[in-house]
Chains A and B, each alone.
Chain A
């Protein structure tokens, strides 16, 4: 293997030798930069160069040009035919000035652009919501036009396939609440209230919230990635040209499927959470399943269950519309798919929690 490229100066003479190909020319670049030029004419002796490619030749010719710009005469000596060819090749391209870089903006301009983007983003999301609402109403008038087979497939993927993970997590949450609550309740001899605690917390708040968060991470992200990739591969544009509204084909089936499946998943999470609470109560407090269920029947009203399940369709609408909206925001590249998918999950979880808080306020005001 040839020695790496080297360059050293001796008065007005600069010697270059070794392998001047891209992989081995880094040292020579630093050496050329550190050379202090003696006054007068400069000769660059390249007779020692064993190998050279266009990167090496560019380094030599740009160095010569830099020195010439300091009003020096620079000549090459000992150039082989190959080096002369490469120099000619470079000269033919007529490179002048710096390579272009994308325009950068000052702080104020960036601030302005970001604010404008944020505002248009909000507006675009609002108009997307309006668009979905309009399309949903239209399709509800003519339900036959909804792509039912797509709805069923989406329902299976977003609902049925999520049963194991939702069930497991809800069960564990039930266990944790019963344990944390039980420790305190036992001290007051109020162990029986463990059923109230688990029942109300799970049914009213935790089951719908946990289910929505899991589904946002699992299904919302999948919606964004799917639609986003279809944007990149121009499949969405293909649909448009065929006279198929992307919203009808891509958004509405997902929306309807999720609006149906999320409440069902929530009911399943209710059950699993109660089971977890029961299991913990029986092992920690020696409370039989029978006692737990009896107490549950006295403390939990039907409306507590309905309040929890009733929030689920709203959460579903948020997750599906944010997921699809972010998918349509994808532009051009794989990187953009990743960015919008992250945004989709963060925004839908954020909105779900905010809306849940609003529900709590409204329910307490209405005394439900």
Chain B
């Protein structure tokens, strides 16, 4: 990754406080175009909150968030609209609309923001569903008929509807069996290559971190404990970082990764 690549998301000294509870105390990070940045950390470390701030669902208490060159902490909701069309968000449980079929769900951004004909929208939605590895017949199903993995894929298809430049994924592989999780990881990598996406993901999954992430940011103790590639972080001797990346699960994932690399 070139060091001078364009910066698409930048957080500067972000402080977040809910009532008395301090969640972030001065977080600064940058996302460069074309990379996959993973945000990791223990439960309650404020990963998802950070993601919500980047996708403009939550205003930080202090500090600034810049998305695609625009300071979103100072902008009004109307000013943010054009920006929102340029990013896709996949929520943890899919957040598919229950009253619409999967195909209609996927077409929602197209229907809302373009003047394309209904047929074309359905076809594009179908293309996105197939891209995420779903069977052609899934489009006619309702969200509550889907399994967890299918729901994630459908949510990913909807996030990709407008071919966003920036894709945010909240726990993409949580709640999936290892094979589905691997499949989703591959899919994310493939789509990133094909569509030229920049991806910010929040995850717990050590395998995903090794396979997908170009760079990893470790949150803990209200601030960033470490940032870098997985290899760098896993070799770190700083106590907080070492502990996170040297648990039994992390070691297995690292070993598999290194074996895979040496084969």
Is A163's CB within 8 Å of the partner chain B? no
Is B231's CB within 8 Å of the partner chain A? no
Is B98's CB within 8 Å of the partner chain A? yes
Is A83's CB within 8 Å of the partner chain B? no
CA distance A100 to B139 in the complex (A): 6
Is A336's CB within 8 Å of the partner chain B? yes
Is B143's CB within 8 Å of the partner chain A? yes
- CB of B144 within 8 A of CB of A332, answer yes
Residues of B within 8 A of A103 (CB): 140
Is B69's CB within 8 Å of the partner chain A? no
- CB of B98 within 8 A of CB of A332, answer yes
- CB of A336 within 8 A of CB of B98, answer yes
CA distance A55 to B101 in the complex (A): 20
Is B116's CB within 8 Å of the partner chain A? yes
With contacts A99-B103, A100-B139 taken as known, whether A22 is within 8 angstroms of B163 at the C-beta atoms is yes
**Interface of chain B, helix or strand or loop or mixed?**
helix
User: Inter-chain contact count A-B, CB under 8 Å?
Assistant: 95
Size of interface on B: residues with Cβ below 8 Å to A: 34
**Can you name the residue of chain B whose Cβ is closest to the Cβ of A56?**
B163
With contacts A22-B162, A89-B194, A93-B130 taken as known, whether A335 is within 8 angstroms of B99 at the C-beta atoms is yes
Is B225's CB within 8 Å of the partner chain A? no
Q: Which of B97, B140, B143 touches A101 (beta carbons < 8 Å)?
A: B140
- CB of B127 within 8 A of CB of A22, answer no
- CB of B194 within 8 A of CB of A29, answer no
- CB of A101 within 8 A of CB of B101, answer yes
- CB of A29 within 8 A of CB of B116, answer yes
Can you report 19 A-B residue pairs in the complex whose CB atoms are below 8 A from each other?
A22-B110, A22-B113, A23-B114, A25-B114, A25-B116, A26-B116, A29-B120, A54-B127, A58-B124, A62-B120, A62-B123, A89-B131, A95-B136, A96-B136, A99-B122, A99-B139, A101-B139, A332-B142, A336-B98
User: Which residue numbers of A lie inside 8 Å of B, CB to CB?
Assistant: 21-23, 25-26, 29, 53-55, 58-59, 62, 85-86, 89-90, 93-96, 98-103, 331-336
